[in-house]
Structure 1
Amino acid sequence: MKSTYIVLAIAIPVMIASAWLLAAPGTILLSLSLGALLIALSAIDIATLRLPDALTFTVLLFGAIMVALTRPDLWLHHLLGAGIGYVALVGLELAYKRLRGRDGLGRGDAKLLGAIGMWVAWPGLAPVLLVASVSGLLGAVAASLFGKRSLSGETPMAFGPWIALGGWVVWLAAPHMALVPLD
């Protein structure tokens, strides 16, 4: 519990500063809303291994508002991002369960990637998953090395925080990476 407060004490100011410095013009309030929702979802997932649908849906809803206000001509790219993000992780979830005979990924992770896909559009999904996978792997290895958790294929681990981190990084970096034209 104490470590959660430490993480929040670091994450909140970093989120505010990075949004202030890197958010695309006209998106600061929406970016701060996204950041707050991603931090809340991450904290809940770490504590419960669950991602509440209400918060995930709010990420999706705010993403739709962002598209409507800042890039209405790119609806198709953002809707595809939401759909492909969700379907890709549901497919991975089902394939893993079929191959291994047990759950390996939660449906909440798929819903979160779909909601983030609304923000970053379909070209942003691969970078989100790259950041999420690499940071999640590094986090698991670090937790194992520092004695917080044993590292095995049976150890449950929240993936939502890493998807949230990937979504945040790509959302802020997208205007500088030209993933989707902004004009």
Structure 2
Amino acid sequence: MSLAVLAPGAGIPLQLQGLALIPPLVWLSHRDIRAYEIPDLATLTFAIIGAAFLVWQNPQALLLHLAAGAVISALLWGAGEIIYRLRGAEGLGIGDAKLLGAAVVVLGPWKLPELLLLSSAGGITATLAARVRRPGRQEGIPFGPFIAYAVFVLIYFNPLFL
């Protein structure tokens, strides 16, 4: 449904990129919902497809996207580890950190604020809905599907925050 709404206004390259990214994004979302883990192969496939389209459309930006993705993965991985050590519970998993880094490879570092805003808004909304539906139960919400959907939506939009 999102592809049908977002893609018609985009050019052929963005439409193809959106279509190519659907399988790994659906795969990692499904796995995260079921097992609270994001397969590394799904994240890698997602990043490779995004990098391939980047090479096709804007090859001079590839190094910047790859470096930014690596830095974001490392920073978020470290932040997740600190949260785990302080709270004794996982707040941001390694899979989420790697997926966000791969998303930066696909989208570019300038879309990171929108990515974090959109995926966090989805996660917060789902958490609140789960608490209303089942009061008193404290269960985790997988973040990967919200990151995946945010990436898919943001492929078709220019950065809001420059």
Pairing 1:135–2:122 present:
yes
Distance 1:69 1:97, change over 3 A: same
> In structure 1, how many angstroms separate the alpha carbons of the residues matched to 2:11 and 2:96?
26
**Unmatched segments (≥5 aa) in structure 1:** 1-13
Kept after mapping to 1: 8 A contact 2:7/2:14: no
Counterpart of 1:53, as a letter, is D
Distance 1:28 1:57, change over 3 A: same
- Cα displacement (A) at 1:24: 4.2
- Cα displacement (A) at 1:178: 6.9
**Unmatched segments (≥5 aa) in structure 2:** none
Q: What TM-score results when the alignment is normalised by the length of structure 1?
A: 0.78
Pairing 1:162–2:143 present:
no
- Cα displacement (A) at 1:74: 1.5
> In structure 1, how many angstroms separate the alpha carbons of the residues matched to 2:153 and 2:137?
26
> In structure 2, how many angstroms separate the alpha carbons of the residues matched to 1:76 and 1:46?
32
Superposed, 1:6-155 pairs within 5 Å as 14-147=1-134, 150=136, 152=138, 155=139
Kept after mapping to 1: 8 A contact 2:14/2:155: no
- Cα displacement (A) at 1:87: 1.9
Counterpart of 1:61, as a letter, is I
Kept after mapping to 2: 8 A contact 1:19/1:32: no
Distance 1:85 1:146, change over 3 A: same
Identity %: 31
> In structure 2, how many angstroms separate the alpha carbons of the residues matched to 1:86 and 1:139?
24
- Cα displacement (A) at 1:22: 4.4
Kept after mapping to 2: 8 A contact 1:128/1:163: yes
- Cα displacement (A) at 1:83: 1.6
Counterpart of 1:92, as a letter, is A
- Cα displacement (A) at 1:85: 2.8
Q: How many residues align?
A: 162
> In structure 2, how many angstroms separate the alpha carbons of the residues matched to 1:99 and 1:45?
24
> In structure 1, how many angstroms separate the alpha carbons of the residues matched to 2:129 and 2:35?
20
Distance 1:40 1:23, change over 3 A: farther
- Cα displacement (A) at 1:179: 6.9
Alignment root-mean-square deviation, CA: 2.1
- Which has the bigger relative contact order, CA under 8 A and spacing at least 6? 2
Q: What TM-score results when the alignment is normalised by the length of structure 2?
A: 0.88
Kept after mapping to 2: 8 A contact 1:46/1:161: yes
Kept after mapping to 1: 8 A contact 2:54/2:106: yes
Counterpart of 2:91, as a letter, is G
